[in-house]
Structure 1
Amino acid sequence: MNLPNTITFSRLVMTAAFVAAVSFRSAEGYGIGLALFVIAAISDFVDGWLARKMGLVTPLGKLMDPLADKILVSAAFVFLTEHKLCPVWVTALIIGREFLVTGLRQIAVEAGQVIAADNLGKWKTGFQLTFCITGLVWLTLDHMDDL
């Protein structure tokens, strides 16, 4: 497995660690979750850049990178909704759309085609990550008195 794909797969591990950290429902847990989320978000940009720069773009990377993004963003939106920082309908709409697109990508793969993320999708992911980071910062700061 090449470096960009390893970074992509590490994002899945960071997502699991993010969920575990915020599950502690403490300022420390939220702070650790925020740090993990930011690192995972940065890795989203790094893996694609490295893949293009090093000539290591692969069908696996084209499929797994957007999927890892969707899992990370979905986990964060569920968490933010649970804490009343995002309406349920917004989270349901985002998660539904994300997994509909993933399903369509899988159908394309089975037909022998891989659909890479386009610029509009990259902007959407950037806005979602920014919203999630803002919400996580808000929640972490809101619990600082607990330290």
Structure 2
Amino acid sequence: MSLANKITIVRIGMIPLFLLAFQQYPSWIAEQVGFLNYINHNGLYWAVGIFVFASATDKLDGYIARKYNQITNLGKLLDPLADKLLVSAALIMMVQQKMIPSWIAVVIIGREVMVSGIRVLAAAKGTALAADKHGKFKLVLQVVAIIAVLLGNFPFSYFTKFPIDLTIMIMAVVLTVYSGYKYMKNNYRKLQLEL
């Protein structure tokens, strides 16, 4: 297995650690288990660190795959899957913790499921539908928005009461919808022919 694919698998493996750190545990359990008590008080900081590190590995595995000619079919499958799983896990946990409204998670995850489904159907017919620049920029904005919300508008809260974190998240939702539309529009003829 190539180094790039190993890094991608590590990124997927970090998702349960992110969930473990982000989760709030019932006080009656946490009071008896020191580790869970620690997570209840400091887990969000660890969750942010894990999310930032996992997101950064996305660029690293892509760079290694291109530089050392390690682009594989497994990597083409796992890399976008890892991104979608990480973002989806973060959004679901943020809804659970009431950091964002549920419709934001539904729109973003729904778009990812739709595009992934189309790619799978097209691949089954022998057509590869690549991500475009809108999709790549969408992922970057989603990651920035998630980090901003997890940090509770820090450091912007020192300068303004305006919810910059949620504003970035709304921008990410808009770009997510737009990139999905562009993806469908740009691949319409291929989809007509192949599906």
Scaled by the length of structure 2, the TM-score of the pair is: 0.67
Measured in 1, the distance between the counterparts of 2:91 and 2:24 equals: 17
Identical columns (%): 40
1:37 aligns with 2:82: no
Contact 1:15 1:75 in 2 (8 A): yes
Measured in 2, the distance between the counterparts of 1:76 and 1:4 equals: 23
Moved more, 100-109 or 120-129: 100-109
Secondary structure class of the residue paired with 2:151: helix
Deviation per residue, 1:75-129 (Å, 9 max, x gap) = 1111112222221111101111111111112222222343333221111000000
Q: Which residue of 2 aligns with 1:100?
A: 114
Measured in 1, the distance between the counterparts of 2:41 and 2:66 equals: 38
Q: Which runs of 5+ in 2 are unaligned?
A: 26-39, 156-195
Aligned-pair CA distance for 1:140: 9.3
1:134 aligns with 2:148: yes
Aligned-pair CA distance for 1:69: 0.4
Secondary structure class of the residue paired with 1:138: coil
Supply the AA of the counterpart residue of 1:61.
G
Higher relative contact order (CA 8 A, sep 6+): 1
Q: Which residue of 1 aligns with 2:12?
A: 12
Determine which of 74, 87, 90 is the counterpart of 2:101. Answer: 87
Measured in 2, the distance between the counterparts of 1:71 and 1:84 equals: 20
Scaled by the length of structure 1, the TM-score of the pair is: 0.87
* Structure of greater Rg: 2
Q: Which residue of 1 aligns with 2:165?
A: none
Count how many residue pairs are aligned between Structure 1 and Structure 2.
141
Supply the AA of the counterpart residue of 2:16.
A
The CA RMSD measured in Å over matched residues stands at 1.9
Measured in 1, the distance between the counterparts of 2:83 and 2:65 equals: 16
